[in-house]
Amino acid sequence: MLFRSMVAQIEKLLDQIRVRQSETRPQWNAWAEVSAGHDSNVNGGVSQAGIQLPVLGAVTVTPGGQRVASDFAGVAGGVSYSYALQRGFVIYGGASGGLRGHEAGRAHAYDLANYGVFTGLSYRTEGNHLLRVGLNHGQLQLENDHFRAVNGVNVDWSMPLTALQSLTLGAQAARITYAGANSVRNADAPGGSVVWRMALPASWQPVFTLSASRGYEHNRQSRPDLGRRMNGVSAGVVFHPLPRVTANLALSRTVSPYDGRSEEHTSELQSR
């Protein structure tokens, strides 16, 4: 037990050294992941064929607009780069991508491919506060067809609360542009988040995280019924069961109800 504790402390010191080195010389990082799970509503469809809509009243939804559940599997990966301009200032950038496939027959129409690039500038103060400003661009393909593009800007500020705790406040804004008939859903999306982290001086170096986020999609096509609020919470823990091995466990919940307040229009969502 004493040996494991010593290894954990050494790894923690090495991590701190790597952080400081990234602020004084170029650094490359890469990551990869695999995922699997069950999606109860792959297509964002309604739960039953018969629904009530404003103005139109009772409507029968075609099978393509009804909820589809499916198991899924995915792979993803990315690279990042950072370069110190001068003490405290670091420019960074990177790229990532991923694929997600579904098992159910009808759900194959919602197989996803995505990629994104990002860049930004960070500044760390002597008091270990970290301020970052970044730009990002992402593309989403649906069954090999272009579906959506997102351009965004983000600002976040991380501050130490104690030697083992930190708090990060973030603000984001994005412009979302859909392809083809789905352009009726084009929106601007501001949002914010708060993340609390706590490290424990114990074996496996666990770091606990709690986060909450809130955002809103403001429709740009005079369709307020397609605007939606997005609220999310998550909790997780990252730990190192072996030297240079990192594991992550997390639970999250996100709700995104549509406003549905328009009296002049009814929603005719195209197949995604």
DSSP-assigned letter for residue 225:
G
Using CA atoms, how far apart are residues 132 and 145, in angstroms rounded to an integer? 34
User: Global pTM?
Assistant: 0.70
Most confident of 193-197, 203-207, 226-230: 193-197
Work out the percent of the chain whose per-residue pLDDT is above 70: 76
Higher pLDDT, 128 or 186: 186
Q: Are 217 and 187 in contact (CB under 8 A)?
A: yes
Residues 35-67 have pLDDT tens digits of: 888 888 776 666 666 665 665 666 665 566 667
- Does residue 271 surpass a pLDDT of 60? no
- Does residue 149 surpass a pLDDT of 90? yes
Q: What is the mean pLDDT of the chain?
A: 82
For residue 26, the model assigns a pLDDT of 83
Strand partners, 238: 207, 248
228: confidence class by pLDDT, cuts 50, 70, 90: confident
- Does residue 2 surpass a pLDDT of 60? no
Strand partners, 249: 237
Residues 14-26 have pLDDT tens digits of: 666 666 655 567 8
Contacts of 164 (CB under 8 A, 6+ apart): 198, 199, 200, 201
Residues 162-175 have pLDDT tens digits of: 989 999 999 999 99
For residue 46, the model assigns a pLDDT of 61
Least confident of 164-178, 199-213, 238-252, 254-268: 254-268
Cα 22 from chain centre: 24
Q: Are 76 and 97 in contact (CB under 8 A)?
A: yes
